[in-house]
Structure 1
Amino acid sequence: MKGVMIQGTASDVGKSLIVTALCRMFANEGKKVVPFKSQNMSNNSYVTRDGKEIGRAQGIQAEAAKIEATVWMNPILLKPRSNQDSEIVYLGKSLKTLSGRGYRETFYEKGLDVIKKSLDRLSNEFELVVIEGAGSPVEINLKDRELVNMKVAELADVPVVLVADIDRGGVFASIVGTLELLEPEERQRVAGVIINKFRGDISLFEDGIDWLEKKTGIPVIGVLPYVENHMIDGEDSLSIDNQFSTRKKGTLDIAVIQLPFISNYSDLEPFLYEEDVSIRWVKHASDFGQPDAVIIPGTKSTMNDLKSIKDRKLDVLIQNHIENGGYIVGVCGGYQILGNEIIDEAGLDTGIPNRKEQGLGWIPATTIFYEEKETVRSAGVYHEHTGLSPDRKVEGFEIHLGKTILHKESCSFLLLENGNEEGYYGRNGQIIGTYLHHLFHNDDWRNTWLNLIRKRKGLHTKETTCIKEYKDKRYDDIAAQMKEHLNVELLNDIIIKWCQK
């Protein structure tokens, strides 16, 4: 197989972004390139065109590679449902929920088999495979049954490039320590090192590069700059702080309830590019303040996160916010939380069949969790009763357990192309609930909603900020930036020579 694997010295060192940039760089060179990650652990999902679920990062990387995303690019997705258990999504479909120990003890051979099948399929269909690892390749307690790093590099028989994050400090120790803990045959597979997230004058790091190459015998093939506002969706919880911590102070204050089991927080990223919007996370009651709008995002465990909201007394603050005319949107699990009642009929959310929990009571609806999971791309228009322009198309995707049933005389938010009514629209848009992830990625809707808030504050409305075209341009910009700071000739030489062995 012709390809390369990007591994890291730790989580969140920038592997996903580098793979994304490489996919666009190789695609722009005319190569038929495909991303791959054997096993992803993330509650940020991507729904393929055929209604299958994979990790968000691989969906984004497929877009960068200018190809359609498929389950073969991420055959195993683990979605944490508690501190102990994760849902296993196997080839895009929910399989079962297992503890970490149960997964390691019962799933390893099945995992190896599907990884081999995926790699074979991709290598037959594409010219070049860019593989992403997970975490660190030297987690000693996990190495004997790992499915994400050196075992995958061995199965694919590709060279490894090790990425280290200089921004977090300790870059020399992390590289040398990682190499030292690899088995000899694994270390021989590491053909290059990338230093990522560098700030400042690169000439001041030249001595460091020389030392690393002499110490390890491995070339440093690039020192990549820290990329601000790269607009590539994050993958895990560590990315939340990185992407939202440096926000400016905007005229519109949007507070997002930070849930312990938050999912698909990429729903919120378009707000980062609205000049007058500041978006912030609310962990505790003391963080709430007086926002103009509140968003309750998706969650992998609705009842647990509903309990978390109540335990933190955020339900009282949300009530005051709405009673004072503030806007609120609940997306997916957030939609369920805003309803009257949640019934876990199958015991899938809590492990307790028929458990009931009172929601926050702002949407007249009951949610019932069934065994079958809904994963589908959806599109529609605003429901006629909303008073919004009926000719505006809204697109997104649904990933959820259960069904939310609105009580009589409630106004739905959308009318989908399949004829179904979706979501809730109340008080002239003050209260909205929807299962549609990436609702705010629709430029027209995002602007419509923000203008409702602007009007309430007595501010002038604004024209639509178009980010869809901007995002594709960012793929090109990031690829160009990587090409500028990467020894591309050496990287290609590493890939070709390894393939010719």
Structure 2
Amino acid sequence: MGKKKLRPLMLVGTGSDVGKSVIATAFCRIFLQDGYQPAPFKAQNMALNSYATPEGLEIGRAQATQAEAAGIPCHTDMNPLLLKPTSDKVCQVVLNGKPVGNQSAQSYFRKEGREIFRQAVHDAFDRLVSRYNPIVMEGAGSISEINLRDVDLVNLPMARHAGAAVILVADIDRGGVFASVYGSIQLLTPEERPLIRGILINKFRGDIRLFESGVRMLEELCGIPVVGIVPYYKDIYIEEEDSVSLETKQVQAAHGKVNIAVVLLRHLSNFTDFQALEQDPRVHLYYTNNTKEIEKADIVLLPGSKNTIGDLYELRHNGVAQSIVRAHKAGATVVGICGGYQMMGREVCDPKQVEGNIERLPGLGLLPVTTEMEGEKVTRQVRFRFLPALEEQFCSGYEIHMGNTVPLPDVSVSPLNQRSDGEADGYFASPKCFGTYIHGILDNAAVINYLLRPYVDKLTDVPFDFQSFKEEQYDKLADHVRSHVDMPLIYGMMQPAVK
């Protein structure tokens, strides 16, 4: 007999980056531990970090992570609307997993045509709620962007459609938590305020007992219970929503480990490709566009980009392109993934101006391949054999790219991978120079061990099981949040309305 049907739980915020995504991930795992079949949902997500579903469609990586915590495959219904910035003012709009064009912010947020998007996200939620229980929903940014109230389809209007119990998440580490919570609630309309059923204080540092009077004050001010105070943590690893924190990982090379530099691009996407390496005890990984730090690295990784030609142009002008080539000539391994693979070739061509008005740009010349940008996006999950002549076991990953890369006419084919459908992927020039379109390739132990093999004299630690590590982190996060929130109170809020 299945569990009793619960109302959806929705986490909204006083602002961006208050920790909604991670808290939602925690509740996905908590409900799974408690015997439910939860699923995540975010109507609209803006992020360069995306993921391919088993059906070969595209969603925000945060919802894929939440689905993994919930123990289920990800699906576009969990994030029906994804906005991928291509510049400061323009986004690619991905609807139900497929790109439907680029729009400026002014165009996207206009009232005309808005109901088409609203109906699409409602339909996605309705399909999801028929299959899972409960739905863990996530809002976007602040709930009190009053200038966008009429066109909002991700926060309280979505909560109203779903009949969700809404918890307002505030980041106390930023300061101003009383003003942000009280102000957020006061700026809501009288019809919206009753939707907020609880307040969750996130990222608390210090002795929680000292904030007991603060809890009483907040509850008296707002007339809403504080459901928990979640302490800041440093010993739990969960994927972050976007790449805003990467610059804090610009650290210098270390002794006694394999030093890996990820080139920090302006339009860097899918930085999660490197998170297994970040946790590998054999590795010291850092993100940088400093030419000296790149040349100190044992391995240089060129990541994906939402604007390959724009980022390649910048690398050629700021000296980073030359430093990557110098590092390789001095013995460093250079590997490119997706846009980084394209940059490693002889040239990148964009005759249809898919990415901008530059129709051709020379690449780094490290691989004898050429790339032509195309309007049709490839999105799919893949199983593949890495270096098929050497490795027999299948690995897994996913592709999200626009463009086709082929060897130069006078060069023999030298694929890095063979997909399970028989098609080749990537180019292998040498054990220290190769590229691929497959995101997540570095989540596979066989690939990481091959990558580190030339530096075995530095290695003392045993190989690292990233999947087991992630499962352990989801459980640690769930335990952390569960021990600092009032779960009976939250379950009480989620009881269905009495008919």
Number of corresponding residues:
490
Among residues 103, 106, 124, which one is paired with 1:101 in the alignment? 106
Amino acid at match of 2:266: P
Q: What is the aligned counterpart of 1:376 among 367, 377, 380? A: 380
User: Does the 8 A contact of 1:247 with 1:278 survive in 2?
Assistant: no
Change (3 A) 1:317 1:479: same
Secondary structure (helix, strand or coil) at the match of 1:496 reads coil
CA contact (8 A) 1:329 1:431 kept: yes
Q: What is residue 436 of structure 1 aligned with on the other side?
A: 438
CA distance in 1, matches of 2:375, 2:141: 32
Alignment match of 1:258 (pick from 248, 254, 264): 264
Work out the CA distance in 2 between the residues paired with 1:208 and 1:248.
44
Which structure 1 residue ranges, 5 or more long, are not aligned? Answer: none
| TM-superposition CA deviations, 1:340-397 (whole Å, max 9, x none) | 1111133211156xx1111111111110111211111112113356xxx321322100
**1:25 maps to what in 2?**
30
The change in CA–CA distance for 1:490 and 1:351 in structure 2 (over 3 A counts) is farther
Q: 2:405 maps to which residue?
A: 404
The residue number in structure 2 matching 1:190 is 196
Which amino acid in structure 1 is aligned with residue 440 of structure 2?
A: H
Q: 2:13 aligns with which of 8, 12, 37?
A: 8
Tell me if structure 2 keeps the 8 A contact 1:161–1:194: yes
Which residue identity does 1:442 align to in structure 2?
A: N
User: 1:467 aligned to 2:470?
Assistant: no
CA distance in 2 between partners of 1:314 and 1:211 (Å): 53
Give the letter for the 1:437 counterpart. Answer: H
Q: 1:249/1:214 Cα in 2 relative to 1: closer, same or farther (>3 Å)?
A: farther
Contact 1:346–1:369 (CA<8 Å) still a contact in 2? Answer: yes
Q: Deviations over 1:8-43 (max 9, x none)?
A: 111111111111110111111111222100001111
Alignment partner for residue 345 of structure 1, among 351, 358, 362? Answer: 351
1:67: how far off? 1.8
* 1:364–1:410 contact (8 Å) kept in structure 2: no
Q: What do the CA deviations read for 1:471-490 (whole angstroms, capped 9, x no partner)?
A: 11221221122111110000
Determine which of 44, 61, 69 is the counterpart of 2:66.
Answer: 61
Q: How far apart, CA to CA, are the structure 2 residues paired with 1:435 and 1:351?
A: 24
Q: Given that residues 40 and 55 in structure 1 are in contact (C-alpha distance below 8 angstroms), is that contact kept between their aligned partners in structure 2?
A: yes
**1:320 alignment partner in structure 2:** 326
Match of 2:212 in 1: 206
Deviation for aligned residue 1:226: 1.6
- The alignment partner of 1:82 has SS state of coil
Q: 1:307 to 1:439 in 2, by over 3 A?
A: same
Between the two proteins, what is the percent identity of the paired residues?
37
Aligned-residue offset at 1:143: 2.2
Q: Which residue of structure 2 aligns with residue 391 of structure 1?
A: 392
- The change in CA–CA distance for 1:362 and 1:10 in structure 2 (over 3 A counts) is same
Structure 2 CA distance for partners of 1:460 and 1:117, relative to 1, 3 Å:
closer
Q: Does structure 2 conserve the Cα–Cα contact (< 8 Å) formed by 1:249 and 1:277? A: no
Partner SS for 1:339:
coil
- Per the normalisation by structure 2, the TM-score is 0.93
Which is further off, 280-289 or 36-45? 280-289
Whole-angstrom CA distance in 2 between matches of 1:483 and 1:310: 49
Which letter maps to 1:397?
Y
Q: Secondary structure at the match of 2:391?
A: coil
Report the CA distance between 1:287 and its aligned residue.
Answer: 5.1
Asked if the contact 1:247/1:279 (under 8 Å) is kept, the reply is: no
Structure 1 stretch displaced more, 439-448 or 223-232: 223-232
Distance 2:164 2:388 in 1: 55
2:418 equivalent among 415, 420, 427: 415
On the 8 A contact 2:346/2:370 being kept in 1, the answer is yes
Q: Does 1:363 align with 2:367?
A: yes
- Is the Cα contact below 8 Å between 2:295 and 2:324 reproduced in 1? no
Q: For residue 184 of structure 1, report the CA deviation from its aligned partner.
A: 2.0
Residue 246 (structure 1) shift: 8.6
For 2:10 and 2:252, the matched residues in 1 are separated by: 33
SS at the partner of 2:39?
A: strand
Q: CA deviation at 1:95?
A: 1.1
What runs of 5+ residues in structure 2 fail to find an aligned partner? Answer: 1-5
3-state SS in 1 of match to 2:286 = strand
Assess if the C-alpha contact under 8 Å between 2:281 and 2:461 holds in 1: no
TM-score normalised by structure 1 residue count: 0.93
2:288 aligns with 282
Determine the C-alpha separation between the residues in 2 that align with 1:214 and 1:77: 38
Structure 2 CA distance for aligned equivalents of residues 390 and 68 of structure 1: 27
Q: Aligned pair in 2 of structure 1 residues 36, 279: CA closer, same or farther (>3 Å)?
A: same
**Paired amino acid for 1:450:** L
**Cα offset, 1:438, TM superposition:** 0.7
Q: CA 1:461/1:414 → structure 2, altered by over 3 Å: closer, same or farther?
A: farther
Q: Which moved more, 1:98-107 or 1:278-287?
A: 278-287
Name whichever of 118-127 and 245-254 sits farther off.
245-254
- 1-structure distance, mates of 2:423, 2:460: 32
- Aligned residue for 2:480? 481
> Given that residues 84 and 100 in structure 1 are in contact (C-alpha distance below 8 angstroms), is that contact kept between their aligned partners in structure 2?
yes
In the alignment, which residue of structure 2 is the partner of 1:215?
221
Name the SS of the counterpart of 1:94 in structure 2: strand
> Once superposed, which parts of structure 1, at least 4 consecutive aligned residues long, lie more than 4 Å away?
245-250
Once the two structures are superposed, the pairs formed by residues 121-160 of structure 1 within 5 Å of their partners are: 121-160=127-166
User: CA-atom RMSD, angstroms?
Assistant: 2.0
Is contact 1:179–1:187 with CA below 8 Å preserved after alignment? yes
Q: How far is the alpha carbon of 1:98 from its aligned partner?
A: 0.9
Q: Which residue of 1 aligns with 2:3?
A: none
- What SS is found at the alignment partner of 1:16? helix
Q: Is the alpha carbon distance of 1:247 and 1:228 closer, same or farther for their aligned partners in structure 2, counting shifts above 3 Å?
A: farther
Aligned residue for 1:336, secondary structure, equals helix
